[in-house]
Structure 1
Amino acid sequence: MDTSPNLTRCAWAGSDPLYHDYHDREWGVPVHDDRLLFEFLILEGAQAGLSWITILRKREAYRAAFAGFDPELVARFDDAKTAELLANPGIVRNRLKIAAAVGNARAFLKVQEEFGSFDAYLWRFVDGKPIQNARKTLSDIPASTPVSDALSRDLKKRGFRFVGSTICYAHMQAVGMVNDHVVDCFRWRELSE
């Protein structure tokens, strides 16, 4: 894949090479790996109130701090581990977000048990295939949709936290449940095929 700075990208990708790499290689690509789905769920929750570039810059520290995003390990984090995380300058040191990540790991495992995988649970909200949008500008992209509303309600009912509809829609975009690249972005056509 050509990741040159001269390609036409979604405006949110700006000029930061880290953003370009994320936009060009990950954002909007369908994800069916439970561990990566868990990673995005935790990162999207951590991002609440912050910019996504802040989280991208902390991503490797998150991977180290959260046991490679292994939900079984994260579900066993105790008060001592929480205290360690709160002292970790590499991540967002917010007690509520850290507690939510641990609680979400436990809820994630229950969903896996019920549905066989988190992937099977999540993708049923879009009938197993990405929603192909044709947004012309960044302002055409909504912060939430009826599908993200339904996902948010269901996740909350299952005990997840930091999963409001806006966070759920960002998660859906990140893991390719929707193609929200704008139509003049080089990735829109690639992910529409």
Structure 2
Amino acid sequence: MPKLISDDRILDAAVATVAEHGFAGATTRQIATVAEVNEVTLFRKFGTKANLLREAMVRELAAFEDAGGARYSGDVHADLRRVVELYRGLVERRGRLIPVLLAELPRWPELREVVEIPQRVIASVAVVLARYQQEGVLEPEPPLLAVASLLAPLMVLELVRGTNEALSPPVLVVEDHVRRFIAGRTPAQGSGSSSPKPKPRRQSRR
């Protein structure tokens, strides 16, 4: 019986190999070796290295959206907890690949489409945050800055973890992180209403 070959195993091997050696340094032979397949199988299924990485990101985006992703429900705490949980899983699986791709993008234009896929996650989260801002649930600010405050810590912790023995990154508790994020952006009561004007002083009559 022929051995079943998992596409996910090939994609995981491609991501790990490129993250370690860079896009230019990684070879399809190395990827095939890590995935325990031959190069012919790899080419038949995916073609190029860029296609391998693109498919890996497409599947991550699909998994993010299938699990609810950046969906507006009217419950800001629940929506942001879900987003942070899903994004943490994404960066744990693919986070170390992103800086590599960004660094090599100027030399390899075919990576642009790969990089744009995780950016769709960022854009979808920005839309949800903007809606909560418009409703007065969150203080107004550029939505992308809000996304950076919400999600960037997860990427930073993942990049440090396992790459710098001198640092010991803390475990991010999703509930606490989301609570602090919202607390720092909750509009003060009465904000937006006009402040009472000071009463003019009465001039003393002489």
TM over 0.5: no
* Bigger Rg, structure 1 or 2: 2
Greater relative contact order (Cα < 8 A, sep 6+):
1
Give the TM-score of the pair, scaled to structure 2. Answer: 0.23
